[in-house]
Amino acid sequence: MSDFSLSAINDRISTASTFIQPLRDNLNRIIIGQERLIDKIIICMLADGHMLLEGVPGLAKTLTIKTLSQSIDTNFQRIQFTPDMLPADLIGTLIYNQKSGEFDTRKGPIFSNIILADEINRSPAKVQSALLESMQEKQVTIGENTYSLDLPFLVLATQNPIEQEGTYPLPEAQVDRFMFKLVVDYPDIDSEKILMRQNTKVKDDFDDVKPVVTPDMIIDAQNIINEIYVDEKVEDYILKLIFATRNPLKYDLNDFDGIIEFGASPRATINIVKAAKARAFTEGRGYVTPEDVRYIGHDVLRHRIILTYEAEAEELTSDKVIDRLFEKIEVP
């Protein structure tokens, strides 16, 4: 790629990404102490992906998504998944109209821009499959008719790590469809003090959330992101990271022998590139750096590296394995 064309892409990205900071500011004004979560959600949305969030209740997951939808002026739906839920409760169904003698289509809550799928692991497998099919195809079939979902379309599914009784864990193959798996942590003590003061006052700032971005701006950004330049050295770096999860011994990761049962899939390779490009966009750059890859690497790989029982017995986690990967694989 010539310097001229790279310079042109840089200029385009720099201009197109001006809405990122106002969007961050709008979210950080309401959501205290979750800057990392906010940043990752924006990156995931721009990369046209979906996110699985894991964290204890009360960490502002719902508020974050609702504020995001208000900031972009899009429709938001929170869907509480339960053991007695049916696919029709999610995607919609056909209702018989006695007056006309025909079936009318009643669309379900999935017909929205931003979906919070709360406690997805509490619903049966057929409901999970219906959601994941909607995420993948961005369309829903009700009866004989197929309906496209509104764009931008972002699903954030939550899992509660505390209460596992009465849950239906997502199979690994279905978890793989989420671009990111993010573990949401507690805010630090200073952030929680601000949070405490903010939420014990009469004034409700949430009503003051004004749109700072339009849906069309997000869709345009998603298209422009595809043009961001990835150098061959960065591509090789990504491939080495992925292939090291499949064949650790080849990359001198002898301590991983018998630790990884299944390595990252080709979907992981694609999603790392997409997410790294989106991260470069949020930084106003027209090219991807190894730092972009490292920034989103854990979130893309966390749920795609399946460890053996021996690894779990030694209390090894996929995060520790990914840490070791980034230590071992040389940065270009």
228-328 topology per CATH: Helicase, Ruva Protein; domain 3 (1.10.8)
- Is residue 4 very low, low, confident or very high in pLDDT (cuts 50, 70, 90)? very low
Q: Kindly report the three-state secondary structure assignment for every residue of 98-129.
A: CCCCEEEEEECCCCCCEEEEECHHHCCHHHHH
- Kindly report, residue by residue over 283-311, the tens digit of the pLDDT: 999 999 999 999 999 999 999 988 888 88
Tell which CATH classification among 3.50.50.60, 3.20.20.370, 3.20.20.70, 3.40.50.300 matches the domain 19-222.
Answer: 3.40.50.300
Instruction: Report the distance separating Cα 164 and Cα 218, nearest Å.
Output: 36
Tokens of 257: 């022998």
State the pLDDT at residue 166.
62
> How far apart, in Å, are the Cα atoms of 21 and each of 42, 66, 281, 292?
11, 18, 12, 18
- Kindly report, residue by residue over 146-188, the tens digit of the pLDDT: 899 988 999 998 887 655 666 777 777 778 889 999 887 776 6
Q: Is 196 exposed, middle or buried (0-12, 13-18, 19+ CB in 10 A)?
A: exposed
Instruction: Report the distance separating Cα 130 and Cα 86, nearest Å.
Output: 9
Q: Give the HSE-up count for residue 169: Cα atoms under 13 Å, Cβ half-sphere.
A: 8
Tokens of 93: 């169904």
State the pLDDT at residue 164.
61
State the pLDDT at residue 40.
93
Q: Is the pTM of this model over 0.85?
A: yes
List, by residue range, all CATH 1.10.8.80 domains of the chain: 228-328
Instruction: Report the distance separating Cα 277 and Cα 300, nearest Å.
Output: 13
- Kindly report, residue by residue over 72-117, the tens digit of the pLDDT: 888 889 999 988 999 999 999 888 888 888 888 889 999 999 999 9
- Kindly report, residue by residue over 124-146, the tens digit of the pLDDT: 888 888 888 888 889 898 888 88
List, by residue range, all CATH 3.40.50.300 domains of the chain: 19-222
- Is residue 1 very low, low, confident or very high in pLDDT (cuts 50, 70, 90)? very low
Alpha helical stretches, state H, 17-94:
20-30, 35-46, 61-72, 87-91
C-alpha closest to that of 22 among 282, 288, 296: 282
